[in-house]
Copies of this chain bind each other. A is one copy, B any other.
């Protein structure tokens, strides 16, 4: 199978780029003496998770119970479900533990902790829970100085059925910070928040076995990881234009792209039409703040070797993408039927529009595999 045989739009994954990204992250964690628990929410793909966990301890992070089910069924057993647990999902979590999956959960709430403890005891199933700490994202989690921290830890420390796994944070604010210095400062906030929370727990006589941090920007550019147990970056397996716009990766590190066909020329309006609209690309414009010409993605040649000078997808409807032409040559370069690759603003979002990846190995024509994604919740 060749790229030319794929019906467009199609999602293309460059295995060589994924391998480079995962090897680079493996080198970083080895250098810093911290373990790597990749977040699988970006790729949602067993083959990618295998590359990311190669040589690591094998733990992963998931964002949905559907991911937990999918990866558990493929042999991944040490899993953190890293979104705040609500009571409606307690029974699902119990079921994972009954099936021998070491699924750990997350909360920042006293009532949830109390209810979870009762639930674990009633079910006679052993659960482990993390306390979510806020390190400056202001989304969820307790401030490391919060009055609730020790009471929450005490509720979560109810052996034998409920055990405190540790403290966990995600510095999502790093997705809006540009440059190594800014991101390194956030990485330090992330690290210090956990160390401070763990310190307070120890002072209260509580065990805090794991300090789990990480986001792709801080994991890629951070310089200090001492005192941490593990990091959980996810996006780095693919990177994207948002990460590029922050200075976290190079264009050539971006491992997924959308293969699209030119379907029309509108010379009067000055744009080239492609068959990749918002269903194929999403409306995500995450790179826009620091890459104002990004539109809905950079337009690259069919082999993904280089950006076509100045070209972006400038507008999207459901199945129509529009590329503003800059010169008459743009129309000549992209005749109807020509194919392009579009680099996404946000690889987590764009990949989710597809059931599978068409895998290539570098700038070649040959499709070497079809890797499935999991979907849903």
Contacts and interface: CB of A to CB of B under 8 A. Distances in A.
Given A7-B65, A7-B89, A318-B63, A336 B275 contact: no
A353 B352 contact: yes
A126 to B, nearest CB: 22
How many copies of this chain does the complex contain? 2
B283 A282 contact: yes
Interface string A334-377: 01110100000000110011110000000000000000000111
Contacts of A112: 336
A139 B317 contact: yes
Contacts of A111: 335-336
Given A86-B261, A337-B87, A318 B348 contact: yes
B41 A138 contact: no
A92 B6 CA distance: 12
A8 interface: yes
Interface stretch (A27-35, A191-199, A248-256, A262-270): A262-270
A319 B376 CA distance: 11
A102 interface: no
A126 B63 CA distance: 50
Given A7-B65, A88-B8, A336-B86, A264 B349 contact: no
A376 B352 contact: no
Contacts of A190: none
Nearest to A320: B139
Interface in A233-252: none
A260 to B, nearest CB: 10
B376 A84 contact: no
A140 interface: yes
A357 to B, nearest CB: 13
A64 interface: yes
Contact of A86 (B322, B337, B348, B352): B337
A63 B41 CA distance: 29
Contacts of A339: 88
A317 B172 contact: yes
Contact of A375 (B7, B172, B268, B355): B355
Given A10-B377, A279-B352, A282-B282, A319 B264 contact: no
B318 A41 contact: yes
Interface in A38-84: 41, 63-65, 83-84
A84 B263 contact: yes
A233 B46 CA distance: 40
Nearest to A315: B139
B10 A84 contact: no
Contacts of A284: 278, 283
A278 B349 contact: yes
A216 to B, nearest CB: 12
Contacts of A266: 138-140
Interface in A201-254: none
A297 interface: no
Interface in A80-131: 83-89, 92, 108-109, 111-112
A186 interface: no
A83 B320 contact: yes
A73 to B, nearest CB: 17
7 contacts: A10-B377, A84-B320, A87-B337, A109-B264, A109-B336, A139-B266, A139-B320
Interface of A: 7-10, 41, 63-65, 83-89, 92, 108-109, 111-112, 138-140, 143, 172, 261-266, 268-269, 273, 275, 278-280, 282-284, 317-320, 322, 335-337, 339, 348-349, 352-355, 375-377
